[in-house]
Amino acid sequence: MQKLPKAIEFKDGSPILDMKQVCKSYQLGGSELKVLRDIDLTIKHGEYTAIMGPSGSGKSTLLNMIGCLDRPTNGNYLLGGQEVSSLDDDQLSTIRGAYIGFIFQSFNLIDQLNVIENIEIPMYYQGVSEQESFKRARELAVMVGLGERLEHKPSELSGGQQQRVAIARALVNDPLIILADEPTGNLDSASGNEILKILLDLHKQGKTLIVITHDDDIAKSAERVIRLFDGYIQKQEYN
C-alpha cells in the first residue's frame, strides 16, 4: 500500500476534516468561474451531516473535494491531520481507497461485473487477498440484504438493490468517512427509505456520514445541515 507522509489518525469527537478558506474555481474562456468560495468547515468524527442547496450551488464539488477526487484551488484542507493539497495523485488514490466510501446518485456500478465482483473492487486496489475479499464482499452483500443475488448483474437488479450494492461496496474497506451524493435521488420513496435506514444504522455504528440531499426527511435525520448557495455556506443548523 502506498505510504502516506503521515498516518491518518482520529479520535472520537476530534475533527476528522478541517477546511479553511477553501476555494474552487474553473477557468472558462478567460473568465474565472468561482464554484466554491471561502469554505470554512469542520466535521467531527462520527458526525452525520447533510448538505443542501439549489442545483449548481457547488454541493457535488464540495463533496468531491472532501473525498479527495478534487483539489482546492486555494485554501487548506486537512483530512485526519493530513494536508491534502500536498499529496500526489497516487497518495490521493490510496486515501480514496482506504479511508473514503463513495455512494452516488446513479449508483455507478460496473455493468459487466456481478454483485460480488462490484463489491470487491475497492479491496482489489488495496491488495486484499482473493479469498479474504470474497469472504468480506459476501458478508456485506448479506448485510445489505442481497445474500441471494451474489451472481446477479446490476442490470438484473432494481434501483434500490443497486444502491445497496453500492453501499456495500463503499463499506468494504471499512472507511473513515462515507460520502453520499443524493443517494436516494433516483429511487422511489420506499426504496429511498430503505437506503435511509441503512445509512442511519451506519451512523449508529459510529461512521462519519456526509450526505447531499434535496429531501427534507433525510435532512431531518441528520445531526447537522449545511446549506450552500452559489458556492458559499449560507447557513448551518444543528437538529
Ligand X SMILES: Nc1ncnc2c1ncn2[C@@H]1O[C@H](COP(=O)(O)OP(=O)(O)OP(=O)(O)O)[C@@H](O)[C@H]1O
**Which positions touch another protein (CB under 8 A)?**
2, 64, 67, 69-70, 89-90, 93-94, 96-98, 102, 104, 108-110, 112, 121-122, 124-127, 129-130, 169, 173
Between 14 and 112, CB nearer to another protein: 112
CA-to-CA distance for 126 and 120, rounded, in angstroms? 10
3-state secondary structure 134-158: HHHHHHHHHHCCCCCCCCCCHHHCC
Taking alpha carbons only, the member of 11, 2, 15, 13 closest to residue 76 is: 15
Give the CA angle between residues 207, 60, 67 to the nearest 5°. 45
Between 63 and 84, CB nearer to ligand X: 63
Residue 76's CB is within 10 A of a number of other CB atoms, namely: 14
Between 186 and 193, CB nearer to another protein: 186
Each residue 1-40 as x (binds Mg ion by CB under 5 A) or -, in order, gives ----------------------------------------
Between 60 and 221, CB nearer to Mg ion: 60
Task: Give CA separation, 183 vs 29, 169, 178, in Å.
Answer: 33, 14, 11
Given ligand X, another protein, Mg ion, none, residue 94, with its beta carbon under 5 to 8 Å by kind, binds another protein
Residue 94 binds Mg ion, judged by CB under 5 A = no
Between 90 and 188, CB nearer to another protein: 90
Burial of 127 (0-12, 13-18, 19+ CB in 10 A): exposed
* In the complex, minimum distance from the CB of residue 191 to Mg ion, in angstroms, rounded to a whole number: 20
Residue 152's CB is within 10 A of a number of other CB atoms, namely: 16
Stretch that binds Mg ion, among 58-66, 77-85, 112-120, 222-230 (CB under 5 A): 58-66
Alpha helices in 30-129 (DSSP H): 59-66, 89-99, 115-125
* In the complex, minimum distance from the CB of residue 235 to another protein, in angstroms, rounded to a whole number: 27
Given Mg ion, another protein, ligand X, none, residue 121, with its beta carbon under 5 to 8 Å by kind, binds another protein
Taking alpha carbons only, the member of 236, 211, 198, 234 closest to residue 57 is: 234
Residue ranges that bind Mg ion, judged by CB under 5 A: 60
